[in-house]
Amino acid sequence: MPKQKTRRSAAKRFKVTGTGKLRRLQAWRAHLVAGKKSSSRLRRLAGETEVSPADRKRVKRMLGR
């Protein structure tokens, strides 16, 4: 049986913490940042958040876990 491969697109978007939690960047942060979105909105979208329980199984499978 061939080795299982990680989906590279998922590997670039998600990371697993030491305790096994899945982290992701928030959406709506990358595009049209300069004048369109307020500073408070950009601060709120900064940083990482946990993957929702509904998506965890699918993301883990894509990461080969």
Position of tokens 């939690």? Answer: 21
Boundaries of domain holding 58: 8-62
CATH of the domain at 31: 4.10.410.60
10's tokens: 């998922």
The pLDDT of residue 33 is 80
Q: Look at residue 1 and tell me if it is in a domain.
A: no
C-alpha pair distances (Å), 53 with each of 12, 14, 21, 23, 38: 20, 14, 11, 12, 29
Q: How far apart are CA 23 and CA 31, in angstroms?
A: 21
What tens digit of pLDDT does each residue of 17-61 get? Answer: 999 999 999 998 888 888 889 999 999 999 999 999 999 999 999
CB 20 within 8 A of CB 32: no
What's the structural domain count of the chain?
Answer: 1
- Is the C-alpha dihedral spanning 26, 28, 31, 32 positive or negative? negative
